[in-house]
Amino acid sequence: MAFKPWDTPFWPEGVPREITGYEKPLFSLLDESAKNFPNQTYTIFNGRLKSYADVKATSDRLAHFLSKQGIQKGARVAVFLPNLPHFPEIFFGVLKAGATCVTCNPLYTATELNYQLKDSGARIVFCMDHPQFYPTVVEAIKRTDVEQVVICSVKSYLPPLMAFMGSLLGKIPKAERHEPGHLLFDDVVKQYSPEPPEIEIDPAEDLALILYTGGTTGRPKGACLTHSNFMANVTALDEWSLFAQAPGAKPERLKRGGYQTILGILPWYHSFGLTCGMLHSCLLGGKLVCIPDPRAGKPPFAEVLKAVQKYRPTLMPAVPTIFVAFVNHPHIDNYDLSSFLCCVSGGAPLPPEVFRQFEAKTGAIIYEGYGLSETSPIASGNPANTETRKIGSIGFPFPSTDIKVLDLDTGEKELPRGEDGEIAICGLQVMKGYWNKPEETAAVFRNIDGMRYFLSGDIGHIDEDGFIVITDRKKDLVLVGGFNVYPREVEDVLFEHPKVAMAAVIGVPDERSGEAVKAFIQLKPGETAAEEEILSYCKENMAGYKRPRLIEFRDELPVSAVGKVLRRVLRDEELKKGQKE
């Protein structure tokens, strides 16, 4: 799959257009780092360190266990865990058994989890010993193919004194009771030797993960992602991550073998946190700080700030809501955040004002990436430097990736530069298709010039400098009197208001103009504002047809598990409100 050089003078120096060396099983990341850096720390959890050799040994034991349970190549195994140190051990252990992971949001209800287990045909579930999560699993596995549940306690991954005192004081989470026959993770690890089965993996064809989409466009679908999808994406991420590690220095690739520490704040059950956090850390032979609950602490998010000061992370993949939480935290000036070298933002557009404030407070470089669950997830990125990046864009296609802008009606005609259309992606990281959904799969792919392009559902264009600009999602477009209003554009202006912490914009029915713009505002802590103040600000800063006609203040805005503001939820609430009226 060869692509011509991207037409821009700003392509980052030293980054290749194509990558090689990705044709390996995904678990080779762990095996190679364990071989090269056996004593280097991989996971950090509440002060307890686990080396690469330790994590590899446990993953080998789990692969042995799964094999003895009858889990063979192609079987599905579910992981229902937050960011605990068990997660990478289980994930790689499943792959070493030849099976496919199904990563599940630990905040799912039993009904939501039941759908995912039933749809994927998962036969074993790993879950946390917790008064909420474990009972959810017990209920969710009913009428599914699940044969066994393995219960993971945090106690064995705490420092000995903390584990002892936690047990003594009843502070370690655990379920009230365990169902007969369910296994304990610690017992499994002790019982089985580190001898994984011998299996043959075809990286391009064999599935590593069935990753369910966030459901923002309907019922979740399982994206089928291969070993090569992830290997290619994390390899491309490493090639792209060239930046100066000191002022005036020449940009260079990140050093391997314990030099980097990644803050594992994004959930690993989602592709962004998995690829840019757990897998990239493993590729680098770096440290991974496990953050199971970013909101922990008083006030919320305080434990994250403590972890940054204690463990000195150099890298952080995060969504905009995380950056907002940093810059608006009332105690941020009490912490040293200068260890950050580089941060990747994705999942949603990062408002320019938040961009500026975070970099000013930390000294880090932020570069925005773009992608979807279906693309493992990264499809493009801004250059990782302040000289050639363009804030507000998503940069250029990643190595071994091509992006076209296609017409909105058919998705088959390539549009000229500068014209808005649907973003389409072709690359090594693009999924095989949706699990057991051939019609849905066919609907999102187009064959253009003999290449297979995935229709993203996002609207954008390529500007005069070759930067790709996302305007919005198809379904979020607001039509005001025949004019197109893109919510992101309005939200970016609202974010610049000094009192606004979060903003979301949707279209609501309007007899005069067809639709009107409504803005939902979450103010910064301690701030108050009247509707007229926001409306007046909008009048000064945007064209008439773009201005919100309605303002609603919220204590919190609805967000997905990975931090995306859910405009869909706000639209549904407005629809129900209109039906009652």
* pLDDT tens-digit readout, 309-332: 999 999 999 988 899 999 999 999
Q: For residues 70 and 65, give the distance between their C-alpha atoms in angstroms, rounded to a whole number.
A: 9
For the purposes of burial, counting CB atoms within 10 Å of the CB of 478, is it exposed (0-12), middle (13-18) or buried (19 or more)?
Answer: buried
* Mean pLDDT, residues 114-131: 97
Q: For residues 540 and 280, give the distance between their C-alpha atoms in angstroms, rounded to a whole number.
A: 44
Contacting residues for 348 by C-beta, under 8 A, at least 6 apart: 319, 320, 563, 564, 565
Q: Which residues pair with 149 in a beta bridge?
A: 125
Torsion of CA 3, 4, 6, 8, to 10 degrees: 170
Q: For residues 313 and 379, give the distance between their C-alpha atoms in angstroms, rounded to a whole number.
A: 25
Confidence of residue 74 (pLDDT cuts 50, 70, 90): very high
Superfamily of domain 28-376: ANL, N-terminal domain (3.40.50.12780)
Q: If you compute the radius of gyration of the chain from its CA atoms, what whole number of angstroms results? A: 24
In 3D, which of 187, 216, 212 has the Cα closest to residue 119? 212
Instruction: Enumerate helices (H) and strands (E) in the chain, giving the number of each.
Output: 17, 29
* Mean pLDDT, residues 412-427: 96
Count other C-beta atoms under 10 Å from residue 208's C-beta.
25
* Mean pLDDT, residues 134-151: 98
Torsion of CA 127, 129, 135, 140, to 10 degrees: 0
Q: For residues 95 and 375, give the distance between their C-alpha atoms in angstroms, rounded to a whole number.
A: 19
Amino acid identity of 246? A
Q: For residues 217 and 383, give the distance between their C-alpha atoms in angstroms, rounded to a whole number.
A: 30
Q: For residues 161 and 138, give the distance between their C-alpha atoms in angstroms, rounded to a whole number.
A: 31
Cβ contact 66:42 at 8 Å? no
Confidence of residue 565 (pLDDT cuts 50, 70, 90): confident
At residue 33, does pLDDT exceed 80? yes
Q: For residues 279 and 525, give the distance between their C-alpha atoms in angstroms, rounded to a whole number.
A: 35
Q: For residues 306 and 289, give the distance between their C-alpha atoms in angstroms, rounded to a whole number.
A: 12
User: Which range has highest mean pLDDT (251-260, 404-413, 419-428)?
Assistant: 419-428
Q: For residues 111 and 364, give the distance between their C-alpha atoms in angstroms, rounded to a whole number.
A: 41
In 3D, which of 120, 114, 97, 91 has the Cα closest to residue 195? 97
Which part of the chain is CATH 2.30.38.10? Answer: 396-472
pLDDT of residue 215: 47
In 3D, which of 170, 164, 115 has the Cα closest to residue 143? 115
Lowest mean pLDDT, pick from 246-260, 404-418, 537-551: 246-260
Q: For residues 429 and 204, give the distance between their C-alpha atoms in angstroms, rounded to a whole number.
A: 10
In 3D, which of 408, 384, 386 has the Cα closest to residue 461? 408
Phi-psi region of 449 (alpha: psi -120 to 50; beta: other; left: phi over 0): left
- Residue 121 corresponds to which tokens in the numbers above? 């045909």
Q: What is the mean pLDDT of the chain?
A: 92
Dihedral angle sign, alpha carbons of residues 217, 560, 26, 277: positive
- Tell which CATH architecture fits domain 477-580: 2-Layer Sandwich (3.30)
Q: For residues 545 and 483, give the distance between their C-alpha atoms in angstroms, rounded to a whole number.
A: 7
Count other C-beta atoms under 10 Å from residue 6's C-beta.
19
Confidence of residue 217 (pLDDT cuts 50, 70, 90): very low
In the numeric block, the tokens 């499994």 are attached to: 188
- Residue 53 corresponds to which tokens in the numbers above? 């050799």
In 3D, which of 508, 431, 485, 513 has the Cα closest to residue 221? 431
β-pair type (48-51, 445-448)? unpaired
At residue 85, does pLDDT exceed 90? yes
Which part of the chain is CATH 3.30.300.30? Answer: 477-580
Q: For residues 235 and 389, give the distance between their C-alpha atoms in angstroms, rounded to a whole number.
A: 21
pTM for this structure? Answer: 0.89
pLDDT of residue 580: 66
Domain 396-472 has CATH 2.30.38.10: yes
In the numeric block, the tokens 């201005």 are attached to: 547
Count other C-beta atoms under 10 Å from residue 482's C-beta.
8
